[in-house]
Each structure stands twice: as C-alpha cells, then as structure tokens.
Amino acid sequence: MVPETVVARTERRWVTLMAAMLVAMMTVIVGTGVVQALHPASNVETVDPTTLHLRGEFVESNLGTALEADGSATVRFIAEQYAFVPSCAIVPAGTPVKFRLTSADVVHGFLLPDTNVNTMVVPGFVSEVRTSFAKPGVYAMPCNEFCGLGHHGMWAHVRVVPKEQFKQSENGERTSCAEQ
C-alpha cells in the first residue's frame, strides 16, 4: 500500500503541473493575440452557398480587389474544390486590407504564411480577415483545410504591389493579376 501522504503529494504535483501548462497555453494565446494580432475569426455572417454565382456580393464580377472610398482595399475570393477564384489577387502595400471569403462547397482554409491571416472558409458563412502588408511581395495562399482529393493542389496568390503602382480600373472593375 502507498501511504496516503505520498498519494496526496503526487496528486498535488500533477495538479500544479497541469495548472502550469494551462497558464503557459493561455499566455501564448493572449500574447499572440496582443503582439501579432492573431485572433479567432469572430464574425458570424451567413450567405446562401447555392446562389453565390447568381446574385449578391460574390458574383464573379465582384471577385478580386476593390478600393473603398476610405482608401482601404477589400478582396473577395470564393473557395471551391479545388481552386480559389480568382487565382491571384493584387493588393496595395501599406494599406488596410479586408479579405472576405466564402465557400461554394466544403470547408476550405485561407492562410497567408508570415501574416496574421489564417481562417477556415465554411460554406454558408462569410470569413472576414483584416490585415495590411508593409512591403511589396508575393504571398502563397495554400488551402490549409483538407477538402478532398485535390486539396494539395488548391493554391492561390496574393501579390502586394507598391501603393502608387496599384490602380483600379476607372469603370469600377475589380483588379486581378491578369490586368497588371
């Protein structure tokens, strides 16, 4: 028989260890939230995934980058098996950028490595992420949520160009990589 005092001491040690791990994990979550702006997606905005191509915000002519009146940029993508539409978006550097995505079929992922952008794209919901890019460059945009047999080939790109080089066509058309 193990004496009761030994059992109690062992249990106290394990409880202390568990509490320390919880504190460490909470510190990481709060720390990355404050320092790197890594936040869980929090907007609950619904959309009908069966009529995306027919009407509303995610019709094909509205996909890509749009400049807003306040100088910020809004980028809209549709994720579908196995591609993002459009396959490349251009955004200006040093500008607030808002990404809005939704899925036409299953759950996909939206990730821009080395940024605070990482969210799931769920059919029926709009995923919105805000960020800004300090310098020009090309960001790979892999789907990071297993979505089927073609998941590994589901990629797009975000190309960040100098602010003065970014131009929106006059007739309000969305900017895509093909046009610049």
Specify the residue for token string 């196995």.
Answer: 82
Nearer to ligand CUA, 132 or 144 (CB): 144
Sequence-distant (6+) residues with CB within 8 A of 140 are 112, 113, 155, 157
Nearer to ligand CUA, 99 or 133 (CB): 99
**Torsion over CA: 35, 36, 38, 43 (sign):** positive
Nearest to 102 by CA among 157, 47, 164: 47
Q: How far is the CB of 115 from ligand CUA (least distance, A)?
A: 19
Local structure of residue 91 (DSSP, 8 states): E
Q: How far is the CB of 100 from ligand CUA (least distance, A)?
A: 17
Nearer to ligand CUA, 77 or 166 (CB): 77
Nearer to ligand CUA, 91 or 143 (CB): 143
Q: How far is the CB of 85 from ligand CUA (least distance, A)?
A: 12
Q: How far is the CB of 70 from ligand CUA (least distance, A)?
A: 32
